[in-house]
């Protein structure tokens, strides 16, 4: 076998690309010495485009199909090479395959919070947004010229970093121009996504890439602001505050009754009953319909209640209070108030032990008499 026969045997007769990856956008067909036989078969499958590059210049582009590489099928390359009719020698050219299928579920998001203006928060709000988008190559010539260059294996990771920054930049502009309140932003996520998608489609087209879909999946707020919005939503879900307060008061009375029954001591039970009666009275006031004055008649002032006696406590050398009757019962229950605790109220000359104040004796219960000898 001669040297020429050996070289001819190493030349490739079929040019094709079998893509078994899920992230390859562009692939350079590798061959020995960059030489392709004249008359070789070029196979371009569905979802692919093939482009020939001669000395850094884009030549012929092929869509799906099977082609015989001759001067008739490579008019631009033949012109660049200066081929004459009947040229049958092997030629050198780079062949790139581009995947034109749709690449889905590409991620985008703001790496850092962005500040937007909101009518309810004039100082501005910092938010973050996340979503997905879909792209595909629709012009392999532009894509090679503007993006890939001489990269022999170009993947989606190399493209998404650049595209994500452009999406985030346009997202910030779209939010500012929309004038949508932060409370209504989630409800208008689809419309905002459409606005961003239309604007980015023009930019992507400059790279030979088609943006087929862009979605906003989530808006993220700072924790303190998110807590405020949750409280607002809960208030909106409650609706009737009177009925809500009735429900909460009834639940509190039931819990106190259960705790008093489980405790088993008379002092705790009495205190629980006293607090229960107080809360029941409050519940009755809430549930009672308020009388409406007759038209043209002024409403009478509220009836004054009995004067509330309040005591200060000396706890760990520090003054605490003042506490009303309910507050004092709670202090007894927690052990902060005992017979030996110093107390004082308005009108007393000095501090005195709680056990020596007649008004507080009922809080501690009666002491049993001594056992007879």
pLDDT band, very low/low/confident/very high, at 46 (cuts 50, 70, 90): very high
Q: Does the pLDDT of residue 266 top 50, yes or no?
A: no
Q: Does the pLDDT of residue 144 top 60, yes or no?
A: yes
- CATH 3.30.479.30 assigned to 103-227: yes
Among 41, 50, 40, smallest CA distance to 19 is for: 50
Mean pLDDT of the 144-157 span? 83
pLDDT band, very low/low/confident/very high, at 246 (cuts 50, 70, 90): low
Q: Are 354 and 360 in contact (CB under 8 A)?
A: yes
- pTM value is 0.51
Q: Count of alpha carbons within 13 Å of 339, Cβ hemisphere only?
A: 9
What pLDDT does 329 receive? 82
Spatial distance between the Cα atoms of 60 and 95, rounded to a whole number of angstroms: 10
Residue 79: C-alpha distances to residues 75, 82, 161 (Å)? 6, 5, 38
What pLDDT does 234 receive? 64
Residue 215 φ/ψ region, left for φ over 0, alpha for ψ in the -120 to 50 degree band, beta for the rest: beta
Residue-level length of the chain: 373
Q: Does the pLDDT of residue 157 top 50, yes or no?
A: yes
- Rg over CA atoms, the chain: 42
Mean pLDDT of the 143-153 span? 82
Tokens of 148: 């890939």
Of the ranges 83-87, 97-101, 319-323, which one carries the lowest mean pLDDT score? 83-87
Of 209 and 269, more confident: 209
Of the ranges 195-204, 228-237, 287-296, which one carries the lowest mean pLDDT score? 287-296
Instruction: For the chain, give the percent of residues with pLDDT over 70.
Output: 68
Element housing 331 (H / E): helix 325-334
Q: Does the pLDDT of residue 182 top 60, yes or no?
A: yes
pLDDT band, very low/low/confident/very high, at 4 (cuts 50, 70, 90): very low
Q: Are 36 and 15 in contact (CB under 8 A)?
A: yes
Q: Are 48 and 137 in contact (CB under 8 A)?
A: no
Spatial distance between the Cα atoms of 124 and 120, rounded to a whole number of angstroms: 9
Query: What's the CA dihedral at 346, 347, 352, 357 to 10 degrees?
Result: -100
Among 339, 342, 340, 331, smallest CA distance to 366 is for: 339
E strands, the chain, are: 12-15, 24-29, 35-44, 48-54, 57-62, 65-68, 91-92, 94-99, 103-109, 114-118, 121-137, 153-155, 209-220, 311-315, 318-323, 342-345, 352-353
pLDDT band, very low/low/confident/very high, at 9 (cuts 50, 70, 90): very low
DSSP tag of 213: E
Of the ranges 158-172, 217-231, 234-248, which one carries the lowest mean pLDDT score? 234-248
Q: Where are the alpha helices (DSSP H) in 113-179?
A: 140-143, 156-178
What pLDDT does 66 receive? 92
pLDDT digits (tens, 9 = 90+) for 342-362: 888 877 878 888 878 877 777
Q: Does the pLDDT of residue 311 top 60, yes or no?
A: yes
Specify which of 46-55, 120-129, 175-184 reaches the highest per-range mean pLDDT.
Answer: 46-55
């Amino acid at each position: 076998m001669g040297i020429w026969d050996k070289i001819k045997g190493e030349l490739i007769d079929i040019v094709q690309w079998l893509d078994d990856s899920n992230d390859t956008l562009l692939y350079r067909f590798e061959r020995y010495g960059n030489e392709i036989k004249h008359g070789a078969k070029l196979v371009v499958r569905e979802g692919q485009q093939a482009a020939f590059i001669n000395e850094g210049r884009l030549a012929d582009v092929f869509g799906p199909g099977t082609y015989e590489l001759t001067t008739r099928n490579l008019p631009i390359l033949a012109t660049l090479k200066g081929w004459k009719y009947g040229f049958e020698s092997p030629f050198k050219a780079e062949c790139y395959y581009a995947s034109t299928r749709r690449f889905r579920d590409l991620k985008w998001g703001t790496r850092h919070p962005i500040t937007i203006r909101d009518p309810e928060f004039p100082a501005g709000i910092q938010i973050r947004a996340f979503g997905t988008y879909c792209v595909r190559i629709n012009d392999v010539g532009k894509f090679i010229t503007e993006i890939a260059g001489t990269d022999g294996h170009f993947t989606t990771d190399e493209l998404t970093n650049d595209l994500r920054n452009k999406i985030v930049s346009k997202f910030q502009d779209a939010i500012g121009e929309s004038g949508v309140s932060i409370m209504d932003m989630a409800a208008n996520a689809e419309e905002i996504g459409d606005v961003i998608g239309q604007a980015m489609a023009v930019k992507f087209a400059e790279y030979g890439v088609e943006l087929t879909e862009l979605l906003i999946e989530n808006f993220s707020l700072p924790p303190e602001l998110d807590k405020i919005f949750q409280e607002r939503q809960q208030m909106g879900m409650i609706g009737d505050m009177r009925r809500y307060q009735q429900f909460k008061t009834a639940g509190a009375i039931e819990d106190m009754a259960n705790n008093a029954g489980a405790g088993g001591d008379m002092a705790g039970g009495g205190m629980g009953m006293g607090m229960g009666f107080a809360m029941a009275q409050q519940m009755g006031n809430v549930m009672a319909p308020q009388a409406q004055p007759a038209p043209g008649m002024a409403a009478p002032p509220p009836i004054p209640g009995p004067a509330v006696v309040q005591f200060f406590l000396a706890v760990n050398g520090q003054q605490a209070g003042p506490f009303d009757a309910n507050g004092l019962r709670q202090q007894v229950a927690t052990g902060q108030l005992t017979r030996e605790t110093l107390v004082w109220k308005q009108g007393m000359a000095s501090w005195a032990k709680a056990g020596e104040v007649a008004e507080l004796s009922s809080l501690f219960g009666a002491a049993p008499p001594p056992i007879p000898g």
